[in-house]
């Protein structure tokens, strides 16, 4: 069951996080607190994105062949552009999508500062109606966990559809959150959220996904082989899934 207050509040939360603590909202480390980072902090932050994309390329070439070289890439949940920037250096064009205008503003500033002109920055809705495929690579990391699963599964179905006939999908999902509150407490938290101080960042949702439904969706898309790498972010257990359509 999807509760409207959980779905509606997610977009507001990320708009607020983008205004108050955009970098920390992407990587929750105290070194990245604040609306602006020093040159040294920003360099360390961006290095995590470069390392991530390098690992994506290594994994995809092992799984799909040395000729893996996507020309058109979709980065779903781009945030401030941490991963978008290194993707743009490897592909001909990138579409970077996020739900928060405040995050997209920081991403656009980052791309402009680095002279990147091959990225289209787009605000998304629940159906990604403004996004036109196909893409050679559809990428999303540490994003779906922040979306309530009923909506997130619909988004995932759309992401898979946006991959071309032989497009590759690199998708991160959370499947276990040991700190997840019981539903009544989560409802109470959302009811009082509008009354919190405006300068206090909202709590970030960490939603585990039902893997049986997710794998059924991937199977229905014609996928027969998946490469999975398990992840552990502060005891939140997840999986990075790599698969190719067709």
Q: Which of 186, 149, 173, 171 is nearest to 237 (CA)?
A: 173
Alpha carbon distance 76, 94 (integer Å): 10
CA distance 142 to 152: 12
Alpha-helix residue ranges (DSSP H) falling in the chain: 4-20, 22-26, 39-64, 84-90, 101-113, 149-162, 183-192, 211-220
pLDDT digits (tens, 9 = 90+) for 98-137: 999 999 999 999 999 999 999 999 998 888 999 999 999 9
Higher pLDDT, 84 or 4: 84
Q: Is the dihedral of CA 108, 8, 238, 221 positive or negative?
A: negative
**pTM (2 d.p.):** 0.86
Residue 98 structure tokens: 């996020």
Please check whether the domain covering 4-244 is classified as CATH 1.10.132.20: no
Secondary structure of residue 11 in the 3-state scheme:
helix
Q: What is the pLDDT of residues 152-173, one digit of tens each?
A: 999 999 999 999 888 999 999 9
Q: What is the 3-state secondary structure (H, E, C) of 124-182?
A: CCCCCCCCCCCEEEEEECCCHHHCCHHHHHHHHHHHHHHEEEEEEEEEEEEEECCCCCC
Name the nearest CA neighbour of 221 among 201, 205, 244.
244
Residue pLDDT, tens place only, 31-55: 888 778 888 999 999 999 999 999 9
Spell out the domain ranges in the chain: 4-244
């Amino acid at each position: 069951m999807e509760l409207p207050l959980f779905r509606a509040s997610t977009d507001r939360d990320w708009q607020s996080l983008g205004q108050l603590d955009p970098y920390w909202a992407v990587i929750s480390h105290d070194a990245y607190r604040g609306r602006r980072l020093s040159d040294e902090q920003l360099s360390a932050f961006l290095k995590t994105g470069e390392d991530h994309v390098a690992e994506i390329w290594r994994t995809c070439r092992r799984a799909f062949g040395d000729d893996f070289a996507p020309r058109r890439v979709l980065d779903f949940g781009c945030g401030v552009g941490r991963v978008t920037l290194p993707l743009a250096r490897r592909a001909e064009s990138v579409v970077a999508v996020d739900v928060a205008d405040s995050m997209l503003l920081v991403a656009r500033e980052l791309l402009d500062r680095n002279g990147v002109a091959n990225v289209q920055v787009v605000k998304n809705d629940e159906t990604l109606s403004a996004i036109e495929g196909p893409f050679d690579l559809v990428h999303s990391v540490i994003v779906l966990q922040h979306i309530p699963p009923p909506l997130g599964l619909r988004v995932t179905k759309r992401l898979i559809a946006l991959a071309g006939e032989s497009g590759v999908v690199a998708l991160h999902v959370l499947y276990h959150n040991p700190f997840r509150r019981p539903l009544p407490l989560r409802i109470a938290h959302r009811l009082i959220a509008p009354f919190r101080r405006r300068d206090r960042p909202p709590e970030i949702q960490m939603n585990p996904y039902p893997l049986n439904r997710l794998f059924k969706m991937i199977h229905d898309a014609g996928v027969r082989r998946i490469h999975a790498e398990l992840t552990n972010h502060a005891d939140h257990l997840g999986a990075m899934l790599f698969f190719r359509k067709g």
